[in-house]
Structure 1
Amino acid sequence: MFDDIRPYRDDEVVKVIESLINEKGLQASIASLKMPRLYQSLPALACSIVKWSLKFRAQKFHSIDEIQMEVAKYLHHLIKNSTAGFSFSGIDNFDNTKPALFISNHRDIVLDVALVNLALYKSGISTVEAAVGDNLLHQPWVADLMRINKSFIVKRSAESKRAMLNASKQLSAYIHDTVANRKQNIWIAQREGRAKDGIDKTNAALISMLLLNKDKQTPIADYLAELNIVPVSISYEFDPCDSDKAIELAEKEATGSYKKQEGEDLKSITQGLVGQKGRVHIEFCQPIIGDYADSKAIAAAIDKEIISNYKLYDSNLVAHAALNQQDTDNSMLAQLNKRMENLTAEQQHWLLTMYANPVIAKQTL
């Protein structure tokens, strides 16, 4: 029932890894990133080196947990080199002996869920199965790479309304079965696509999808108790992709649309991972329990938790002050100006706006 979307299991690891090692697209992607000069001049040699390296390193992987342990090592290294400190709190806000459906704001394609996982891992709690949209999985091997690291597929490219409804029903059933029956934590973003403008708002359609699997006789309160929704608020002092997001937002404002360049998602993933983020904080919020009228009411409750627990940094406060022409911290303003030096006036306005919007959201709670 779920074989086309579920993560891979331990008994599938060796076969999938073998397939990935022989995948030319993966070899080329790693070679171009790790040894760009050699790849440019001698691509076949560079890919051969990558294949040999993957084969050597992959010998120790026979289970999903072993892969996750390796990912955790990489994350520790990444946090050390690309942040000015990572903190988390709120683990005591929910019963972590029960599986949960974590719903977080969405700022970074890969890092959001990776940081949630790191916080859980450090707290001795089982890591999540993570939702990933098929719009990011342009090649089958990319899907394999995600599914071998506890990701499940969200079908967003169905061609008809009927196909989309069937995909939504399958996803709803999968999420409920995973949390309520298989007792496995899940993570999903509060909306499709990153909040490029800094406005963290849960899409009510996401909640409607979660409720598709609920039968008519089951009260919403009972179904929410089974899903155990725990909102998560993720705060970045700086966004490594802020300039790119500002350019996109300005173009959308000017022309009404924005067309992604080839490889833009991969660039955003890489930049989000390795770019400097300043301080990063994750807050696990109070679970969403009780009786709600509908999906919109549940989405609003999630928003309230995420916004009220969002950690404001000087980057947010100074950007808000600058937009309102108020006196502010000159050292932080200088840092923001440095990030904007190659942007037009319209793009600069959008960059400041994305940092200021969390301040506005808190003021209007």
Structure 2
Amino acid sequence: MTNPNDPFQAIRAYHDDEIPAAIQRLVNDPEFISAIVNHRFRQSSRWVKALLSPVVKLLLKRKWGRLNTVEQVQQEVEVYLSRVLHETTDGVTIKGVEQLSKDTPYLFVSNHRDIAMDPALVNYALHQSGFPTARIAFGDNLLKKPSVTELMKLNKGFIVNRSAKAPRQLLKALTTLSGYIKHSLDDGHSIWIAQREGRAKDGLDKTDPAILKMFYMHGKSQQQSFSDYMQSLRIVPVAISYENDPCDIAKATELYHREHLGGYEKAEMEDIASIIQGITGYKGRVTVNFSAPISDVPDTPAGLAECIDQHIHTHYQLYPINYLAAERSDKKIPEQCKQTLKQKLAELPEEARDYLIANYANPVKNAMQQ
């Protein structure tokens, strides 16, 4: 039922009083329970999985039934995320938070390499540093299953409507989104959003000015100048660097198909598979580097996009594999790193290998241009 007093109801994250009912819907979703059983007990036979499903459902009801607030959900997620990062990384380094105030909400704009891990890592870094976590933007293209929507909105997620195509429908969706971002910040909640729609599969982290125009729509309706309004959002660029990209081979394959084979048709659940691979795959060392809030905002979306890019490229942590891919002979490259890249390339057809190399090399080129 739509609430006329809640203009953001269709897209916003859940409030505390909505948490128990959302959890009940989630644990009573057979498809969700089945997905957990198939993931956790993938080696088991079908009949064993059938026996395990009601047990998993009961355990989740007991474990999650005590969660009544957004904060409690966040604490549960933090436990799981800490375990995942311990198992799939060689450590997470957090930089730049000393430039931020714990009492101030920010609009975090990061580069986009992984669907789920990018916002998870920003929130992990904030939580580890004693900051409140941010509300996170996610595209409705990921909402193939009701359980995914529930999980996202339980975990401070709000919806970016990418499916709207008709001009009037699109304008309404963007206006609502812009208003919700400003409303959240004014209400004391930080926001995370990627610098562009879709992951940077080629390692070229570029901010889409259209994202910044969307931010400004609310300010424009208030007849504020672009630079003044954007200044009020307290934009903080964030550079997220993965030493190893768990989805690098899939990204290279997709780019090769798009550019040489006339297009790329995504499988029905490919985005979900990418999420799982990004979460469970080995990442090596990871760095989350926060810039200071942008204080001197340019007066155009293109100028601000360039400013954000400059911060992200400067603060991106480069690893030996980046220098190796960029053929920087002045850097000492460990033998293990050379073997790793060689093994990755061996998994691709020769024509697709340059795309994987570019994914690791382009951050070096970006940094050198600053």
Q: TM-score range by the shorter chain?
A: over 0.9
2:312 aligns with 306
Provide Cα deviations, 1:122-142, integer angstroms capped at 9, x if missing partner: 111100000010000112221
CA distance in structure 1 between the aligned counterparts of 2:183 and 2:45, rounded to whole angstroms: 45
1:200 aligns with 205
CA distance in structure 1 between the aligned counterparts of 2:368 and 2:190, rounded to whole angstroms: 32
One-letter identity of the residue aligned with 2:71 = D
One-letter identity of the residue aligned with 2:336 = S
2:3 aligns with none
| Aligned residue pairs, count | 363
Confirm whether residue 258 of structure 1 aligns to residue 264 of structure 2. yes
One-letter identity of the residue aligned with 1:274 = T
1:113 aligns with 119
CA distance in structure 2 between the aligned counterparts of 1:247 and 1:212, rounded to whole angstroms: 37
In structure 2, relative to structure 1, the CA distance for the partners of 1:205 and 1:341 (3 Å cut) is: same
CA distance in structure 1 between the aligned counterparts of 2:92 and 2:166, rounded to whole angstroms: 43
In the TM superposition, 1:7-18 aligns within 5 A as: 7-18=13-24
Confirm whether residue 269 of structure 1 aligns to residue 275 of structure 2. yes
Contact between 1:233 and 1:283, CA under 8 Å: does it hold in 2?
yes
1:146 aligns with 152
Provide Cα deviations, 1:231-272, integer angstroms capped at 9, x if missing partner: 000011010111111111111121231111122112111111
Contact between 1:102 and 1:186, CA under 8 Å: does it hold in 2?
yes
Contact between 1:190 and 1:206, CA under 8 Å: does it hold in 2?
yes
Q: Which shows bigger deviation, 44-53 or 327-336? A: 327-336
One-letter identity of the residue aligned with 2:39 = L
Match of 2:241 among 235, 238, 256: 235
Confirm whether residue 342 of structure 1 aligns to residue 355 of structure 2. no
Match of 2:130 among 94, 107, 124: 124
CA distance in structure 2 between the aligned counterparts of 1:161 and 1:134, rounded to whole angstroms: 18
Q: In structure 1, list runs of 5 or more residues that go unmatched.
A: none
Deviation at 1:9, TM superposition (A): 0.9
CA distance in structure 2 between the aligned counterparts of 1:347 and 1:74, rounded to whole angstroms: 35
Deviation at 1:105, TM superposition (A): 0.2
In the TM superposition, 1:47-86 aligns within 5 A as: 47-86=53-92
Confirm whether residue 187 of structure 1 aligns to residue 198 of structure 2. no
CA distance in structure 2 between the aligned counterparts of 1:2 and 1:204, rounded to whole angstroms: 24
In the TM superposition, 1:164-179 aligns within 5 A as: 164-179=170-185
Deviation at 1:40, TM superposition (A): 2.8
One-letter identity of the residue aligned with 1:21 = V
Contact between 1:39 and 1:46, CA under 8 Å: does it hold in 2?
no
Contact between 1:129 and 1:151, CA under 8 Å: does it hold in 2?
yes
Match of 1:30 among 26, 31, 36: 36
CA distance in structure 1 between the aligned counterparts of 2:327 and 2:335, rounded to whole angstroms: 11
Contact between 2:112 and 2:195, CA under 8 Å: does it hold in 1?
yes
2:4 aligns with none
Deviation at 1:47, TM superposition (A): 2.5
CA distance in structure 2 between the aligned counterparts of 1:302 and 1:340, rounded to whole angstroms: 32
Q: Give the alignment's TM-score, normalised by structure 1.
A: 0.95
CA distance in structure 2 between the aligned counterparts of 1:310 and 1:259, rounded to whole angstroms: 31
Deviation at 1:42, TM superposition (A): 5.2
- Aligned-pair identity in percent equals 40
In structure 2, relative to structure 1, the CA distance for the partners of 1:333 and 1:38 (3 Å cut) is: closer
Contact between 2:102 and 2:132, CA under 8 Å: does it hold in 1?
no
Confirm whether residue 156 of structure 1 aligns to residue 176 of structure 2. no
CA distance in structure 2 between the aligned counterparts of 1:341 and 1:74, rounded to whole angstroms: 33
Contact between 1:321 and 1:327, CA under 8 Å: does it hold in 2?
no
Q: Give the alignment's TM-score, normalised by structure 2.
A: 0.94
CA distance in structure 2 between the aligned counterparts of 1:209 and 1:221, rounded to whole angstroms: 14
1:360 aligns with 365
One-letter identity of the residue aligned with 2:342 = N
Q: In structure 2, list runs of 5 or more residues that go unmatched.
A: 1-6
CA distance in structure 2 between the aligned counterparts of 1:71 and 1:95, rounded to whole angstroms: 24
